[in-house]
Chain A
Amino acid sequence: MKGFKVLLKKEICEIIRNKRLMILMAIFVLVGIMNPTIAKLTPKLYELMSEDFAEQGITVSAVKVTAMDSWSQFVKNVPTVLIVLLIMFSGIYTTEYSKGTLIPLLTKGLSRSSVVLSKLAVMLLVWSIGICLCFEITYFYSDFYWDNSVVSKLFFAAFCWWLFGVFMISCIVFFSSFAGSGIQVMLGTGAVYFSMTLIGMYNKAKEYLPVRITDSVSLYKGEYEPKDYFGAVIVTAMLSFVFVLVSLPITHKRQI
C-alpha cells in the first residue's frame, strides 16, 4: 500500500512534468467547447452553402438546431479524444520496463502489483476528470443556447462512455503485461475493438458487447432505455476487472 501511494505520486508528477496532463485537458476542454459551437454554426454553414445548393437544384429549408445536435457532436468527438488518450498512454508501462528504470525499486522490495495499479489509477484519474470536464462544458453550453430536456438519459449515456474508456484502459493494462513496446499495446487494443465490431455483426451477441454502450444517440432519442444496456454494462465492467486481475500474475512472471 505504501509503495502504491509513493508510485502514484511519482506518476502524477510525471504526467504533469511531461505536459501530458496539460495537453489532454486542453483537448478535453476544446472538444467540450467545440461540440455546441459546431451545432450552433450549422445553420450558418447551410446558409453560406445554400447558393451552391440552389445552383444544383437542391433547396435547403431553414435548419433548426436543438441540443440534440450538440450532443450528437459530443458522441462523435469523444472517441477521438479517447484515441488520443490511449495513444499517449500506450507506452506508459512498456517504456519503463524496457528502460529498466523500475529495477532499482523492484529489487528494494516494491511489489509489481503496485506498479501496475498505480499507473492504472493515474490513467483512470485523467480519463475521469477529462470526460467530466468535457461533459460539463457541453452540458452548460447546450443548456445555455437550447434546452437539454429534449435529450433524454444524458447522464447515463455519459456514464456509458466513461465505462467504455475504462474498458479500453484496462485493455492497455492487459496488453502491457506481456507486450514489448507501446506499438504492440496499441495494436492489441485496436484488435480488441476491431474484433468486438466484427462479433457485433451477429445480432444476438450485440446486446452484450462493450461497443453497444457507445451507442448513445439512440439513448438520447429515447429509442432505447437504460435497461436495454445493462447486459452490456455488466459485461464491460466484468471484462475490465478481469483484464486488470489477469495482468497482475502475468506481470509478476515477466522478465524486466
Chain B
Amino acid sequence: MNENIKEYLPLLIPLIIAQFSLLGYTIYHILKHDNYKRGNRVLWLVVAIIGMQFIGPIIYFIFGKEDE
C-alpha cells in the first residue's frame, strides 16, 4: 500500500495544496465580509467547509459573494 501511495503523490500534493489554499481564502473572504447576496455567515461557512473539495468555495463565490 505504501508504494501505491508514493505513486500517487505527484497528483495528490498539488490537489491538496490547491484545495486548502482555496478553502483558506474562501473562509477569509467569508469572515471579512458582513453582507452576502443571500444567506448568512454561518450558512456560507458550513457550505464552504462541507464542500471543501472545490465545490463549496466555487458555490460561495458564484452565489454568495456580494457584488460591490
Known: A17-B68, A23-B62, A144-B10. 19 other contacts (CB 8 A): A18-B65, A18-B68, A19-B65, A22-B61, A23-B58, A26-B18, A26-B22, A26-B58, A27-B54, A29-B18, A30-B15, A30-B18, A30-B54, A33-B15, A37-B15, A40-B8, A88-B62, A141-B10, A141-B11
Interface size of A as a range: 10 to 19
Instruction: Check A165 for interface membership: any CB of B closer than 8 A.
Output: no
Contact with B along A15-57 (1 / 0, CB 8 A): 0011100110011011001001100100000000000000000
Interface size of B as a range: 10 to 19
Query: With a CB–CB cut-off of 8 A, which chain B residues contact A36?
Result: 11
Closest chain B CB from A229 CB (angstroms): 32
Say what secondary structure dominates the interface of chain A.
helix
Query: With a CB–CB cut-off of 8 A, which chain B residues contact A23?
Result: 58, 61-62
| A-B pair number, CB within 8 angstroms | 33
The interface of chain A, by Cβ under 8 A from chain B, is: 17-19, 22-23, 26-27, 29-30, 33, 36-37, 40, 88, 141, 144
Closest chain B CB from A53 CB (angstroms): 21
Instruction: Check B67 for interface membership: any CB of A closer than 8 A.
Output: yes
Query: With a CB–CB cut-off of 8 A, which chain B residues contact A17?
Result: 68
Query: With a CB–CB cut-off of 8 A, which chain A residues contact B65?
Result: 18-19
Query: With a CB–CB cut-off of 8 A, which chain A residues contact B68?
Result: 17-18
Report Cα–Cα, A23/B55, bound state, in Å: 11
Q: Which residue of B lies closest to A141 (CB)?
A: B11
Q: Which residue of B lies closest to A34 (CB)?
A: B15
Instruction: Check B14 for interface membership: any CB of A closer than 8 A.
Output: yes
Query: With a CB–CB cut-off of 8 A, which chain B residues contact A37?
Result: 11, 15
Query: With a CB–CB cut-off of 8 A, which chain A residues contact B15?
Result: 30, 33, 37
Closest chain A CB from B54 CB (angstroms): 6
Please name the 5 residue pairs, one residue from A and one from B, whose CB atoms are nearest each other, closest first: A37-B11, A19-B61, A23-B61, A33-B15, A23-B58
Which residues 3-28 in B have Cβ within 8 Å of A in the complex? 8, 10-11, 14-15, 18, 22
Q: Which residue of B lies closest to A32 (CB)?
A: B14
Query: With a CB–CB cut-off of 8 A, which chain B residues contact A18?
Result: 65, 67-68
